[in-house]
Amino acid sequence: MKQTGLVILVLAIVSLVTACNSDNSDKTVMSETTMELTKNDQVKAPDNNSIKMSTGKESVEKFSYLKQLPLEKQEAFTRFEEERKRSYLYNFTPEDMVLVYLYCLSVGDPDLLYDITFSGGQLPDKDKFREDYFEYAMTYDSETAVHYRYYDSIKVDESTSEENKVTVLVTVSIETTTHTLALGLQKEDQIWKMDIYHLIKEYKDKANQSKTG
């Protein structure tokens, strides 16, 4: 009887130990599974900051004077660039043509600038104009295009305007300082053209004086 009782006691102890080990194993497996799921969730979670930064970069668009025009005039000017037909510019106001002029300066295109420059019988041929522009005016004009890209207003000076001759004022404010660029335009070939060839001549004269001085 004592032996039988001892055997029963041993079997009970073994069963108890086995049950404890089983519970611990289950708990360990559950813990590892939970950790694994947590890691997976972290990898798959979207990085909101990255998305915002990416979206911000994609939304940055380069400034263009041309894009300050209404869409239909942007398209009209694009056709003018391709075909060089003045009729595409018939409906452009003096303010519109100043934006076109500043666009030409920003891209450094003397041939396009030549086509919108008032002649009055004073313009040289296109080759000479291009040569003088690259040598004497391009540096000044590039600075002008950059300086006025944050313009506050572009408007006709009504106090000096005439039927076929106007001055357009481009104003920009920087800190406490205000700068104004006055540009003359005259009607020619049924479109407003920039009266700016005298500026190129002034740059040329200034350069020649520096050489002789």
143 or 50: which leads in pLDDT:
143
3-state secondary structure 123-192: CCCHHHHHHHHHHHHHHHHHHHHHHCCCCCEEEECCCCCCCCEEEEEEEEEECCEEEEEEEEEEEECCEE
209 pLDDT band (50/70/90 cuts)? confident
Q: What's the whole-model pTM score?
A: 0.70
**What mean pLDDT do residues 196-201 have?**
93
Q: Which of 55-59, 127-131, 197-201, 207-211 has the lowest mean pLDDT?
A: 55-59
Q: What is the SS3 assignment for 156? A: strand
